[in-house]
Chains A and B, each alone.
Chain A
């Protein structure tokens, strides 16, 4: 090598240097989320067993066999546990793979982690070139060497190509718009020729409408764009060193996708580009939530991750034997003759299965003892769990050392954290999470920033709740131990989405129903906006139905805005702004706005608890007094004022009959507050005069008022006349 000629060897030298570069990877051994709580309070996520093997072993085994020579394991939460584990595992002495650990307790996001690594790097220069960025919960068997080569070549051609993102085809569910891994449907736009990533959207997709917003410039600057909605982001990235410095420069980047990718794509930083690579037959997935824990476990059992399957010793695991129907069983399992172990089940070493047990689609860890007549379906039982006679466990995760006493039942979606004891005959309700540790009063943002907002509002509610807990003693029956965690406010209806349990039938039906409803509505209301495409007959048809429905929607939106304004004490001017924007987006007249606002005000008044009509009157008038500015903005014309009165009448007749007796009084208030002018009332009265008797109820009610108005105006007229004279 030393005797190599200098001239003309420039290019080959360069490529040699590149190929000599150690293949490096950064493995984030912390997900920086709280999705696996309460389990992750006691053990880091990467050490949680996935089909009886810690998740990090899958990642390391894959990286090793893909030719990576050096892995930097970034530890944050529970770093000592991870380091201890790696010290004792076979990765310590692995001939081909050097595992180094980086420890930092300050990092609260992937962005912080990368910034920390960058800072460290300037001291010791650890990351020499391109590297693979994965998280410690990735399960894959894809080859990396070619991909890294491809990335390097592209980098050589185009300095700005700093990252290659791995994607895999996976159809999202049509009903829930959720990928099979429990993440939101991903929407990406890719240049079909260069595979450059042009758009990345995972949260703002409007599923109900089935639409997504694309930047117009995207279409202008690219001759062709491929749009995918059936791709799954594998969270495997080949990065150039520039990525680290980008994180350093943009210190507010936290999330790899939400901030970094968006930042590069939208803000167009230095013209950097991200490319995608679609993997075909290989497998790659990330265990992001309990749903994906379930899905990936089943994929492993079904051998999509071959050779990282339970019957092959791939990284320090003890292989178990594979029998028919995908039943993996350790050789020393003691199983009663009357027990039934069904398809797709894994049973670990030293586990005892009692008489009449039924085990289906489940993973049972090492050293468990299962009593008689136990039913376990679709569940994940970790190590050293004791399950006594007659228990029923469906779609649950049961962590190490749990004891489930006789006759207890775990309903779908339950997660029992370490060493919890479930009392005799206790039924753990669906989707509950149970831990020996109490739920923290306030979410410490140690692990999590991005989701902090979802829990901030619930802090005080929680504190009250945990007081109750203490008074109750154990929540899991008299001989149990553990606290049932309360789910966060926002997450409550989302719970079924990310749980280990399959989505219940009724929930699916509900969503389908909602979608159908929406579809119907869409057929009638949304389509005309693109009416040019429709045939005339259609558009006539829809035009008739259209305004009402659209108005209904608009009214709801206005009501929501108004209520929020009341709650948060938003200023009138701001309220006007918001309602104006709504008005524009729904293409409404200001008369409609006036009607809608008035409707919301009255609704609020009626909804406010009241005992008598006079009290209702008081609230109503105070609301009118307070928000007359808002209403007043839209009732400058007489027509609009009439609209308000008509609306009021309509309300009194239909939705809020309580207001009926107060009609005249409230009308008076409106008049006094200058919301409706005398002209409007008079014209309304004139219009109504010719109507049916039934319609005249309210007119009659305010007859005296109108009479008085007439007189007053005559007087005024006279006064005016006098003045004029």
Chain B
């Protein structure tokens, strides 16, 4: 436990100091830390699921508080919670359905660890199919029938195990739950680290011969996406808006050129002028909100508006860890961060404007340096996630598959 505590602290520290950047690496670190939290968590004999959930929630809250603007952390924590709930549910349904499936799965798990991933995914799928209704808010029908299933299921899981009155079974169920959860988390890790490839695979369907693609700032996902199309012998040109004030577009342009793509760098302010020559705008998102709105690097909204004006498709690439179950109009959600003005202005040059010893003493020069932009769903044509292309209006549905409603407010 102490070493988990210290790794958590260290990660919290890094998040606070804004030393980790990019949602993918953050998501990966978060899920790895949560995995070690789960594996070190002692599970009581009864109510194992809630013990795990509490442990994950406790750590998750710390992580989210450390950098509330990095929504991927919260997303991953919710995903892990969801995995725990789902595995618990699938075990409960299995227990209710009879012991045969359980026995078989026990053997499976002990036999072969490699197949475990496939199995757990399968078992989760089965469970999800069986108990999908319990994961969703109760429908009118279930309400009328008067059995609050979501509350009843965890209860029956423990009482069911108790009623078996076999200690061996109990311990196996305990082991089973943790084991399955860790398998599920491993699966999530694979998913997060593989999201670039998953998204890039679809590139060939979206990028056509001799097209002009505009992108803004730098995104690993976009880079892989474009390169995948290039590898499939598509020939196209890329316009890169430099993404002031951090100019990450310059880095992207370098990478693209290194991979043999025709690249043109333009200033952010030239986007509107160039948009008429562009066939598609492809942007990497920082986060996708539940309403289909996108949080991306600053300047994205302007590019989206320009694309709308010229009826150019505006495509957003987002790994599933970027799907956030929260709505942007929630005041509790921190959507933006103001970074240091030194990225815009050289302190030495403006220091005389910042001399508070003269005049009224109040600063006349203000520098605002927001990191992100919000693009409303109406400006987005298509989302490409690792599960395929989706309409903005479908995002809430996709998100409901990944998260359980209980975890939305942490």
Residue of A64, A282, A298, A344 touching B342 (CB-CB under 8 A):
A282
B9 at the interface (CB under 8 A from A): yes
Residues of B within 8 A of A173 (CB): 352, 355, 357-358
Q: Which of A61, A168, A303, A313 contacts B339 (CB 8 A)?
A: A303
Q: Among B13, B357, B361, B367, find the residue whose CB has the most chain A CB atoms closer than 10 A.
A: B357
Stretch at the interface among B14-22, B199-207, B247-255, B402-410: B14-22
- Are B357 and A291 touching (Cβ within 8 A)? yes
The answer to whether A313 and B361 touch across the interface, beta carbons within 8 angstroms, is no
**Residue A272 at the B interface, CB < 8 A?**
no
Interface pick from B308-316, B318-326, B343-351: B343-351
Contact of B356 among A295, A313, A508 (CB under 8 A): A295
Query: How far does the alpha carbon of A361 sit from the alpha carbon of B65 in the complex, in Å?
Result: 27
Check A502 against B357 for contact (C-beta < 8 Å). yes
A504 to B346, CA, bound (A): 28
Which residues of the partner chain A approach B338 to less than 8 Å between Cβ atoms?
303, 306, 322
In the bound assembly, the distance between CA atoms of A294 and B367 in angstroms comes to 18
C-alpha spacing A229/B312, complex, angstroms? 54
Number of B interface residues at 8 Å Cβ cutoff, please give it.
35
On whether the beta carbons of B357 and A314 are closer than 8 Å, the reply is no
Q: How far is the CA of A169 from the CA of B359 in the complex (A)?
A: 22
Q: From A281, A360, A501, name the one whose CB has the most chain B CB atoms within 10 angstroms.
A: A281
Within the complex, the shortest CB–CB distance from B66 to chain A, in Å, comes to 7
**A230 part of interface (Cβ distance < 8 Å):** yes
Main secondary structure of the interface of A (DSSP, over half): loop
Residue B360 at the A interface, CB < 8 A?
A: yes
How many chain A residues touch B (CB < 8 A): the figure is 48
Q: Which of A331-371 contact B (CB under 8 A)?
A: 343-344, 360-361
| Distance (whole angstroms) from the CB of B296 to the closest CB of chain A | 20
* A-chain residues with CB within 8 Å of residue B18 when the two chains form the complex: 306-307, 312
Does A401 count as interface, using CB distance less than 8 angstroms? no
The CA-CA distance from A312 to B341 in the complex, in Å, is: 16
Q: Check if A281 sits within 8 Å of B356, measured CB to CB.
A: no
**Chain B 11-51 interface 0/1 with A at a Cβ cutoff of 8 Å (1 = within):** 00100111100000000000000000000000000000000
Smallest CB gap from B334: residue in A: A321
CB of A395 within 8 Å of the partner chain: yes
Given A168-B348, A312-B18, A360-B362, are A176 and B341 neighbors across the interface (CB < 8 Å)?
A: no
> Which residue from chain A places its CB closest to the CB of B348 in the assembled complex?
A169
Interface centre among A282, A302, A344, A508 (most CB of B within 10 A): A302
Residues of B within 8 Å of A175, CB to CB, are: 358
Contact, CB under 8 Å: B10 / A96: yes
Which of A298, A306, A313 is close to B363, meaning CB atoms less than 8 Å apart?
A: A298
User: With A and B bound together, what is the CA distance between A178 and B339 in angstroms?
Assistant: 29
Is the CB of A171 closer than 8 A to any CB of chain B? yes
Q: Does B6 contact A (CB under 8 A)?
A: yes
User: Taking CB as reference atom, which chain A residue is nearest B8?
Assistant: A95
Tell me, rounded to whole Å, the shortest Cβ–Cβ distance linking B362 to chain A: 5
Residues of B within 8 A of A569 (CB): none
| Residue A305, interface by CB 8 Å | yes
Q: Chain A, 506-520, contact with B by CB distance < 8 Å: what is the 0/1 string? A: 001000000000000
Question: In the complex, are the beta carbons of B367 and A503 less than 8 A apart?
Answer: no
A182 within 8 A of partner (CB):
yes
- Pick from B65, B341, B356, B360: contact of A304, CB under 8 Å: B341
Given A65-B17, A169-B351, A230-B348, the answer on whether A281 and B359 have CB atoms closer than 8 Å is: no
Which of B68-116 touch A at CB < 8 Å? Answer: none
Choice from A170, A344, A395 contacting B348 with Cβ under 8 Å: A170
Q: Is B369 an interface position by the 8 A CB rule?
A: yes
Given A302-B366, A326-B366, answer yes or no on A169-B347 (Cβ-Cβ < 8 Å): yes
A670 → chain B, closest Cβ, in Å?
A: 53
Name 7 A/B residue pairs within 8 A (Cβ), A-sorted: A281-B342, A298-B363, A302-B363, A303-B339, A306-B340, A314-B16, A344-B366
Q: Which residues of B contact A (CB under 8 A)?
A: 6, 9-10, 13, 16-19, 65-66, 338-343, 346-349, 351-352, 354-363, 366-367, 369
Q: Ordered nearest first, which 7 A-B pairs have the shortest CB separation?
A: A169-B348, A502-B361, A306-B340, A170-B351, A281-B342, A180-B355, A171-B352
14 more A-B residue pairs beyond the given contacts A169-B348, A173-B357, with a C-beta to C-beta distance below 8 A:
A168-B347, A173-B358, A176-B357, A180-B357, A283-B347, A295-B355, A302-B363, A302-B367, A314-B17, A322-B338, A326-B366, A343-B366, A361-B362, A377-B362
